Amino acid sequence: MADESQVRAFYTGKNLFMTGGTGFVGLCLIEKILRTIPNVGNVYLLMRPKKGKEISQRVEEIQVHPVFEKLLETQSVDIFKKIIPVSGDVGEENLGLSAQDRQVLIENINVVIHSAATLDFQENLRPTVKINVLGTRRITELCKQIKNLKVLIHVSSAYVNSYLNEAHEKVYEAPEDVERVISLVNSLSDEGLDNIEKKILKDHPNTYTFTKHLAEHEVANCANLFPCTIVRPTMIVAAWKEPVPGWTCSKVGPQGFLMGASKGVVRRLPLAKENIADYIPVDVVVNELLVAGWYAAKEKSGLTVYHCSSSTQRPFKWELIESEINEILHKYPLKSAVWYPHLKFVPSLWLFRLSAIFVHFFPGFLLDQLLRITGGRPILFRLHKNVWSSLNLLEKFIFNEWRFHNTNTIELAAKLNKIDKQLFYIDISTLNWKDYFVNLHLGVRRYLNKEKEKTLAAARSKDSILLVVHIIWQTLMLALVWYTFARLTGLSMAQSVWITPVIYILYSFL
């Protein structure tokens, strides 16, 4: 019927197999399925024992994750019985599955969602090929054996084509022969791989985008065997609407630096504020995975690629909220802030590095000493050092602008009936970025900095105190520079008073 959810009807009673289920997207996806499609079959999660914990223990930990708070308002904990952990690893032969577990999947699974990947831009070819390429191949090999497979949903990335400034929803020619790459990984030492890496990557900025590009071809090779689809998110950020506005467990991108900015320790951010930054909320990504899977199974032919992106439909630029970002930080401050927050954007890496010496490293060193004295763990100087060392790897992504056309996504949204447009919204045309970033900051405050709304009054009082301390600190620093300059030049304090406004003006450019 027209007033029923076609997407929910498709997944009802289906058994799902997921990789990457404990990640940012994976957790949100599980929550969405259990809350919106409670009559789904079982959700099998590929998991590996971690830090001495069995996979059953890891599933128990998942159940108490804050992402499920809204779900548990309407469902009992029995809903989690639908989550069945399966011991394995996409980086191992045969996915590390036991013969018994593999047979269970072959007999029972209807939908496969492959999200697992290594996202480390600094990894060399060996682990990225092992996980991103061969892991995807192992998933497709399993899919070929599954008896009643309805669809394979592959989570890729729009940045697999980051060597192009403008990309469309199609699988572009492979950057290298995949068998040759696998052969090199199997035969060369780490040093040997490092020596040829740039030659192999060609125009790709890192091994992540390169191997994720190759992985798309592994999926494309199966397009005539069973229904499959590829969804390419851009930079995934906090939830727009569900499970609650601003929910996040990721410290990547704006969530990470707003987390540091609200503490007062991140004060400069290198970016081109006039460029489009292609952000997409995690709940939109989750909805698109489910909708794309439904439609691919319904059509039963061909391979459709979807850009889950904002750059060509609802573009965001940091200049849109530049004048308001510090207002947000002080309207919703942290009780745990260590310095008065003030975030400023700088347009180049060299200026950021210069600024960081004065506003990150020097204060970080002093605050670390204070932490040592008070029995805390000194981490600020090391944190800023890690950021410093990673900048060259991230420069392309910080200052470049991409346009990822999402025609297929827009057309897919139009195919949804009225109820599915509400339940599984993928149309971002009404997204208000200013309101969104207020919620993102509140989500960072609640879920990353672990501060609930009831701490706001105390946090605002502390924010006022930190402002006074900040002013006193700046005054003392200017006085010290004034005194030092007078001693070095032989001028009197009165004769050298002009140096204070000069230093203040110069500092304001940092």
What confidence tier does 50 reach under pLDDT thresholds 50, 70, 90? confident
Proportion of the chain above pLDDT 70, given as a percent: 99
Rounded percentage of the chain residues whose pLDDT exceeds 90: 76
Sequence-separated (6 or more) residues with CB below 8 Å from residue 261: 267, 269, 325, 329, 341, 343
pLDDT single digits (tens) 175-213: 999 999 999 999 999 999 999 999 999 999 999 999 999
Residue with tokens 């040997």, as numbered in its chain: 192
Residues 81 and 198 in one domain: yes
| pTM for the predicted model, two decimal places | 0.93
User: 107 lies in which domain range?
Assistant: 6-240+280-314+400-411
Q: Is residue 1 part of a domain?
A: no
Do 325 and 178 fall into the same domain? no
Element (H, E) at 45: strand 43-47
At 364 the pLDDT is 79
Q: Check whether residue 159 and residue 301 sit in a common domain.
A: yes
- Which pair of structure tokens corresponds to residue 505? 């003006």
Could you tell me if 308 and 233 lie in one domain? Answer: yes
Instruction: State which amino acid sits at residue 158.
Output: A
Do 392 and 268 lie in one domain? The reply is yes
Average pLDDT over the chain, rounded to an integer = 92
**Residue at 33 is within a domain:** yes
Which pLDDT belongs to residue 244? 96
- Higher-confidence residue of 279 and 352: namely 279
Over 60: is that where the pLDDT of 2 sits?
A: no
pLDDT for residue 317: 97
In sequence order, what DSSP letters do the residues of 398-440 get, joined into one string?
HH---EE--HHHHHHHHHS-HHHHHHT----TT--HHHHHHHH
* Torsion sign over Cα 324, 70, 22, 162: negative
The pLDDT score that the predictor gives to residue 361 is 84
Whether residue 1 is predicted with pLDDT greater than 60 in this model: the reply is no
Report the number of distinct structural domains present in the chain: 3
- State yes or no: pLDDT of 389 exceeds 80: no
| 395 assigned to some structural domain | yes
Residue 32: C-alpha distances to residues 9, 70, 274, 412 (Å):
15, 10, 35, 19
Looking at the structure, tell me whether residues 358 and 470 fall in a common domain.
Answer: no
State the Cα–Cα distance between residues 326 and 264, nearest whole angstrom.
11
> What are the pLDDT digits (tens) for 223-269?
999 999 999 999 999 999 999 999 999 998 899 989 999 999 889 99
Mind listing the pLDDT tens digit for each residue in 61-83? 888 999 999 999 999 999 999 99
| The amino acid at 351 | L
Task: Please tell me the distance from the alpha carbon of residue 314 to that of residue 52, in angstroms, as a whole number.
Answer: 45
Please list, residue by residue across 47-71, b when 16 or more beta carbons sit within 10 angstroms of its beta carbon and e when fewer do: bbeeeeeebeebbeebeeeebbeeb
Tell me the per-residue pLDDT of 101-133, one tens digit each, with 9 for 90 and over: 999 999 999 999 999 998 777 788 999 999 999
Do the domain assignments include residue 385?
A: yes
**Are 158 and 213 within one domain?**
yes
Residues 94 and 184 in one domain: yes
pLDDT tier at 17 (50, 70, 90 boundaries)? very high
Residue 488 lies in a domain: yes
Question: Does residue 488 share a domain with residue 384?
Answer: no
Instruction: Answer yes or no: do 309 and 417 share one domain.
Output: no
Q: How many helices (H) and strands (E) does the chain have?
A: 21, 13
pLDDT at 192: 92
Domain shared by 108 and 154, yes or no: yes
Residues 280, 286, 288: CA angle, nearest 5 degrees: 80
Read off the pLDDT of residues 477-492 as tens digits, 9 standing for 90 and up. 889 889 999 999 999 9
Judge whether 192 lies within some domain: yes
Distance of CA 85 to the CA centre of its chain: 24
Distances (CA, A) of 387 to 85, 380, 482: 36, 11, 32
Clarify whether residues 257 and 293 are in a common domain.
Answer: no
Q: How far apart are CA 355 and CA 141, in angstroms?
A: 51
Q: Over 90: is that where the pLDDT of 356 sits?
A: no
160-172 pLDDT, tens digit per residue, is: 999 999 999 999 9
